[in-house]
Amino acid sequence: MAATSGGMDLSGLKAQAEARRDEPGQPGGGAAQRPGGAANEVSPVVEVTAQNFEAEVVRRSVQVPIVLQVGSERSDDSESLRRTLGELAREAKLKFIYAHADADKAPEIAQALGVRAVPTVVALAAGRPLTTFQGSQPKEELQRWVDALVSQIGGQLQGLPEGTVPAGDAPAEPERDPRLVAAEEKLSGGDFDGAIADYDKILASEPRNEEAQQARDAARLLKRQSENADGDPIARADEEPGDIDLQFAAADAEVAAGTPERAFDRLLGLIPSLGGEEKSKVRERLVELFSLFDAADERVLAARRRLANSLY
């Protein structure tokens, strides 16, 4: 593969990119990511314009080698090379980034690189061109060329941030526990007792299974609400403040309405006037309601402190 090196002045193109980036309404350069992708995802294949050239080529080449092709959709050789280099880049898993620039749509890139024919390929590292070649090449030859580029240059660069993965290759969500899935299906079908029994079975063998405990307590709440669906439980509880069961139903309604702090206040307010057995009953219901929320939730933390103080 015939290659040449050096002799390219990218300063003008960088200045254009910076000027565009500073214009009102123009987005700044950033990592090559698919829309909505996670912050640690980088695409192994990017389309380059004058606007994103600095971010996607110059700055990215400080981290990882860039193979930049200047091509044209009008050139069969360009399109063939584009497919091959894109395939190699995806297989390389971010050992290098393949950038493609269309000479017809971004002529300033071709001019800055001194491109006289398409396709032209330029390898860059640390913001500078290293070597270039023209014309299409067999896949085997291209594979050897990029392997040499990565082995000789890749280790001298900063590298991508730890945890970076190719866009689209983010780790899949872990498979759900089939026991929990089965219980959820029963819950969705209105079989509250069946779901609760499934959760209890899990907790019997795994008492520290927080997901199962939270799900069970949520199922219990849903069951209680289905049994107290008539009328306004909060209004009834306010009319009879001494009825613990009515207070429990009202607290469930307040949790379901998204105001757990009111539910906590309601039940905590009962404790000073209650005897030992009833006090324990209220405590158990509070602990069950606490489990429905993140342990670090400020509302839960405040209520736990009040509960501890009220019991001693």
What pLDDT does 172 receive?
A: 58
Q: 210-227 vs 276-290: helix axis angle to the nearest 10?
A: 110
* Alpha carbon distance 107, 48 (integer Å): 11
73-120 pLDDT tens trace? 999 999 999 999 999 999 999 999 999 999 999 999 999 998 999 999
Kindly tell me the sign of the dihedral angle through the C-alpha atoms of 286, 289, 295, 300: negative
- Min mean pLDDT across 47-51, 167-171, 246-250, 276-280 is at 167-171
8 A C-beta contact, residue 225 and residue 252: yes
What pLDDT does 228 receive?
A: 78
Residue-by-residue DSSP string for 128-185:
EEEEEEES---HHHHHHHHHHHHHHHGGGS--PPTT-EETT-PPPPPPPPHHHHHHHH
Predicted TM-score (pTM) of the model is 0.50
- Catalogue the E-assigned strands of the chain: 41-42, 45-47, 66-71, 97-102, 120-125, 128-134, 165-166
Q: Is the pLDDT of residue 145 over 80?
A: yes
Q: Is the pLDDT of residue 35 over 50?
A: no
232-257 pLDDT tens trace? 999 999 999 989 999 999 999 999 88
246-300 pLDDT tens trace? 999 999 999 988 999 999 999 999 998 888 899 999 999 999 999 999 889 999 9
* Alpha carbon distance 128, 139 (integer Å): 25
Look-up of token digits 């909060």 = 234
Delineate the domains of the chain, giving CATH numbers in brackets.
41-160 (3.40.30.10), 175-226 (no CATH), 231-311 (1.25.40)
Rounded to the nearest 5 percent, the helix, strand and coil shares of the chain are 55, 10, 35
User: Buried b vs exposed e over 178-199: b needs ≥16 C-beta within 10 Å?
Assistant: eebeebbebbeeebbebbbebb
What pLDDT does 135 receive?
A: 93
* Alpha carbon distance 131, 118 (integer Å): 16
* Alpha carbon distance 144, 106 (integer Å): 29
Three-state secondary structure call for residue 266? helix
* Alpha carbon distance 72, 75 (integer Å): 5
- Min mean pLDDT across 25-29, 46-50, 140-144 is at 25-29
